[in-house]
Amino acid sequence: MPPTNLTTPTPERKCTATAKRSGKPCLRWALKGQKVCRVHGGRAPQALAAAERRITETKLMEDTERALARLNVAPVDNPLTALSQLAGQVLAWKDALADRVNDLNAVRFTDEKGAEQLRSEVALYERAMDRSVNVLGVIGRLKIDERLAAISEAQAKAVIAAIEAALAHAGVTGRAAVEAKQIAARHLRAV
Strands (E), 111-185: 116-118
Would you say the C-alpha torsion 142, 61, 131, 92 has a positive or negative sign? positive
pLDDT, one tens digit per residue, over 93-149 is: 999 999 999 998 888 778 778 877 778 888 899 999 999 999 999 888 888 778 778
* Torsional class of 33: left (φ above 0), alpha (ψ -120 to 50), beta (otherwise): left
**pLDDT band at residue 1 under the 50/70/90 scheme:** very low
How is 28-80 classified by DSSP, letter by letter?
Answer: SBPPTTSSS-IIIIITSHHHHHHHHHHHHHHHHHHHHHHHHHHHTPPP-S-HH
pTM over 0.75: no
CA dist 30 and 43 (Å) reads 11
**pLDDT band at residue 36 under the 50/70/90 scheme:** very high
Contacts of 187 (CB under 8 A, 6+ apart): none
CA dist 109 and 99 (Å) reads 19
